[in-house]
Structure 1
Amino acid sequence: MPTERILVIVPCYNEQSAIASVVNEINQIRQLVDLELDVLVVNDCSTDNSLQVIRELACIHLNLPVNLGIGGAMHAGYKYAFRHQYDIAVQIDGDGQHPADELVKILEPIRAGRADVVIGSRFLDNTGFQSTALRRMGINYFRWLNRLLVGQTIFDSTSGFRAFNRQTIGIVNDYYPDEYPEPESIVQFGLHKLRIQEVPVTMRDRQGGVSSITFTKSIYYMWKVTLSTLFAYIRLRNNPYRHGNPAY
């Protein structure tokens, strides 16, 4: 099998206490496995010392001039992957929840040609950190909504541990949902008829920083993402390639 060029994209907003460990873990895995792998940290206008920490790490980095949110930061990373012609793009969150030694599981279905999108799920084997009860309720709701709209049953639709092949990178280069993109993007991928596969992974609680989603924001999040997902479905269902190129 030819060696694919892989870009691991790490979105970072105020993760000064975790980002070094995340990047170092990824670099250690690269030394253990036969992968041509680069790390790109996208600093989303952090207000702490994240940028200073990132500059000392063995990675590429983008420093966004304004805060774009997780969707905007990942879109910048996917554009970088597209322009530099990477074969696979992987998202690993900057808070340390996604162990780098699970990378091989995420990559294998794409490298074997069985999937276009791979999502790491904490709910297939139910091991490791399972999130809070409130978030699990929201995740179950989005699983139902995605199944209703595109017939895809994704057990961990809010997981940010995911990998895309070249075709998917071409699609998200042009359009990727902003703010909280994970549930909405599943509708985008479903309407493009992409092969989505979940693989079981073990996740950790965040290793630093504070989550931006409080109880009140969780309710707002569910309402806003529901509307955004419905609008995306209506906008894309008749012509999914209106947003997104099918390939490089």
Structure 2
Amino acid sequence: MKILAIIPAYNEEGNIERLVNKLTQLDIDTLVINDCSTDSTVQICKNMRTNYIDLPVNLGIGGAVQTGYLYASRHNYDIAIQIDGDGQHDPAYIELLVDSIINHQADLVIGSRYIKKEGFQSSLMRRIGIKHFTYLIKMLTNKTVTDPTSGFRACNKKVINFFAAKYPVDYPEPETIVTLLRNNLVVKEIPVVMNERSNGISSINSIKAVYYMIKVSLAIIIDRLRNQDKEIAEHV
């Protein structure tokens, strides 16, 4: 099967080389999406001869990741793995992520740090946001997702094509989970251990985290109500 690791990266010069070196030990392809970094991220990719896309403007996490899914769709990949460029996600878990995809047990598999609660558990503000989205997703879909903001995910070709056509711009992970569940696709979680960022700083601070939590929550609820109205209209 053709497997692609999509690595969104913005100013990850201190992390990207180590991550790519780990991925090259696996039998998968890698693609770095350089989201208009202002540091030497893209130069490191050139020096390593790593496959990369150099975006001309900063699209944010949603646009960068969707670029990867577009690439995966157009190059006919069977499985796409999303893994952050900051080094928090351990490539050692990739085999477990894709196992359920290969065995047709799930359409999307999420690496969750909150099943066994080992390793780095994120900041307080992010944990509050995670619990909020877990509750919201449970309320709307009756499905419990312990780590809905996790960017460590694997999906099959059906989801690749779905994300290539439509993907949220800001803080996209919770919204995409709801969308997939609403379309009767199977979402599964596996336990993983995540690392604390060793270099650089996150692009999401406390103020942005609150902003995104409110914005994404409204987007999820409005989308659910809109589609609920369509379902009602179809049965009238």
TM-score above 0.5, yes or no: yes
CA-to-aligned-CA distance 1:95-121 (integer Å, 9 cap, x gap): 000011111111111111100000000
Query: 1-side partners of 2:101 and 2:48: how far apart?
Result: 28
Q: Does 1:104 align with 2:95?
A: yes
Query: 1-side partners of 2:140 and 2:35: how far apart?
Result: 31
CA-to-aligned-CA distance 1:197-234 (integer Å, 9 cap, x gap): 00000100112210122222222121111112223323
Counterpart residue type for residue 24 of structure 1: N
Query: 2-side partners of 1:56 and 1:237: how far apart?
Result: 51
Q: Does 1:207 align with 2:198?
A: yes
| TM-score, normalising length: structure 1 | 0.89
Q: 1:84 aligns with which of 70, 75, 78?
A: 75
Residue in 2 aligned with 1:22?
Answer: 19
Query: 2-side partners of 1:238 and 1:105: how far apart?
Result: 38
Does the residue aligned with 2:48 lie in a helix, a strand or coil?
Answer: coil
Does the residue aligned with 1:144 lie in a helix, a strand or coil?
Answer: helix
Q: Following TM superposition, where does structure 1 have runs of at least 4 consecutive aligned residues deviating by more than 3 angstroms?
A: 234-240
The answer on whether the counterparts of 1:117 and 1:165 sit within 8 Å (CA) in structure 2 is: yes
Q: 1:38 aligns with which of 23, 29, 36?
A: 29
Residue in 2 aligned with 1:125?
Answer: 116
Q: Matches of residues 184-199 of structure 1 in structure 2 within 5 Å?
A: 184-199=175-190
Residue in 1 aligned with 2:54?
Answer: 63
Q: Does 1:167 align with 2:164?
A: no
Counterpart residue type for residue 3 of structure 2: I
Query: 2-side partners of 1:162 and 1:152: how far apart?
Result: 17
The answer on whether the counterparts of 2:108 and 2:154 sit within 8 Å (CA) in structure 1 is: yes
The answer on whether the counterparts of 2:5 and 2:83 sit within 8 Å (CA) in structure 1 is: yes
Alpha-carbon distance, 1:237 to partner: 4.8
The answer on whether the counterparts of 2:170 and 2:212 sit within 8 Å (CA) in structure 1 is: no
The answer on whether the counterparts of 2:167 and 2:176 sit within 8 Å (CA) in structure 1 is: yes
Residues 192 and 238 from structure 1, CA distance in 2 versus in 1: closer, same or farther, beyond 3 angstroms?
farther
Query: 2-side partners of 1:96 and 1:235: how far apart?
Result: 38
Counterpart residue type for residue 136 of structure 1: R
Aligned-pair identity (%): 45
**Higher mean C-alpha displacement, 136-145 vs 49-58:** 49-58
Residue in 2 aligned with 1:9?
Answer: 6
Does the residue aligned with 2:178 lie in a helix, a strand or coil?
Answer: helix
Alpha-carbon distance, 1:239 to partner: 6.6
Residues 236 and 166 from structure 1, CA distance in 2 versus in 1: closer, same or farther, beyond 3 angstroms?
farther
Q: 1:113 aligns with which of 104, 109, 114?
A: 104
The answer on whether the counterparts of 1:15 and 1:95 sit within 8 Å (CA) in structure 2 is: yes
Q: Does 1:233 align with 2:230?
A: no
| TM-score, normalising length: structure 2 | 0.94
Number of corresponding residues = 231
Residue in 1 aligned with 2:141?
Answer: 150
Q: Which runs of 5+ in 1 are unaligned?
A: 241-248
The answer on whether the counterparts of 1:184 and 1:232 sit within 8 Å (CA) in structure 2 is: no
Counterpart residue type for residue 203 of structure 1: M
Does the residue aligned with 2:194 lie in a helix, a strand or coil?
Answer: coil
The answer on whether the counterparts of 1:187 and 1:232 sit within 8 Å (CA) in structure 2 is: no
Query: 2-side partners of 1:191 and 1:18: how far apart?
Result: 36
Alpha-carbon distance, 1:94 to partner: 0.2
Does the residue aligned with 2:63 lie in a helix, a strand or coil?
Answer: helix
Residue in 1 aligned with 2:234?
Answer: none
Q: Which runs of 5+ in 2 are unaligned?
A: 232-236
